[in-house]
Amino acid sequence: MIFFSITPGQVHGEPYLSKRKEYRMPGNLDTKMPDAQFRTIVTRELNRAATEEEIAFLKRPDVLPRWREVLVQLRGRGEMQISQINHDMLAEHQRCIAMGPIGKTTWFLYKSDAERQKSAAGNFIRKVQLRLTIIRSLRQQEAAVIRTDDTTSWRARAKRLGHLCHEIMQAEIAKPTGNDWTLVQRIQTALAEQSAEEASD
């Protein structure tokens, strides 16, 4: 019975690059790098073999979606491998039962090896899931910063408009012929002009 195996150096086609292997870091880390090169960086990071520059690159806001996409694919492959191992274990168990008493030893040897592979696949999935959690946290932090910037911008705008309205009110009140309708019109005009200026910036 042949089934996929997970060794410390490879997980279902995804090579884990050993620190002892010579590795040349890409000279230009950008979002346009080929998929194969990007996946190599992802697997190096999973294996704790990535450089600080590579880790910083993966954590860039514009790179996070691509990093997450590769990790989701790797998690899916790990889950498929565990499913395949379980399927093969069931088939092998039935075969060993049919062998009679002699099949007992064969089954225990097979089961021990298969459980090691499942454990390796499970550890790999947990490492991938940890990175996905980190990515989710980074994206939430990014969103929080954007909301803070938006709030700061709106507060500054409200403050400017408040000062403007106050000046208009004071000017209208000082006029002997001032009235509420003229005041409202001037405020509306000032608000429209302010919005137009901000839109053109």
Give the whole-angstrom CA distance, residue 57 versus residue 133: 17
DSSP string, 29-73: --TTS-HHHHHHHHHHHHTT---HHHHHHHTSTTTHHHHHHHHHH
Q: Which residue has the tokens 């697997």?
A: 43
Q: Which residue has the tokens 């001037």?
A: 186
Q: What is the pLDDT of residues 16-32, one digit of tens each?
A: 333 444 445 555 677 78
Q: What is the pLDDT of residues 67-113, one digit of tens each?
A: 999 999 999 999 999 999 999 999 999 999 999 989 999 999 999 99
Secondary-structure breakdown of the chain: helix, strand, coil percentages, each rounded to the nearest 5: 75, 0, 25
**Torsion sign, CA atoms 39, 43, 46, 50:** negative
Average per-residue pLDDT for the chain: 76
Report if pTM > 0.85: no
What Å distances lie between residue 138 and 66, 103, 184, CA to CA?
A: 14, 52, 46
**Which pLDDT does position 12 carry in this prediction?**
41
Q: What is the pLDDT of residues 150-171, one digit of tens each?
A: 566 666 666 666 666 656 556 6
Three-class SS state of 14? strand
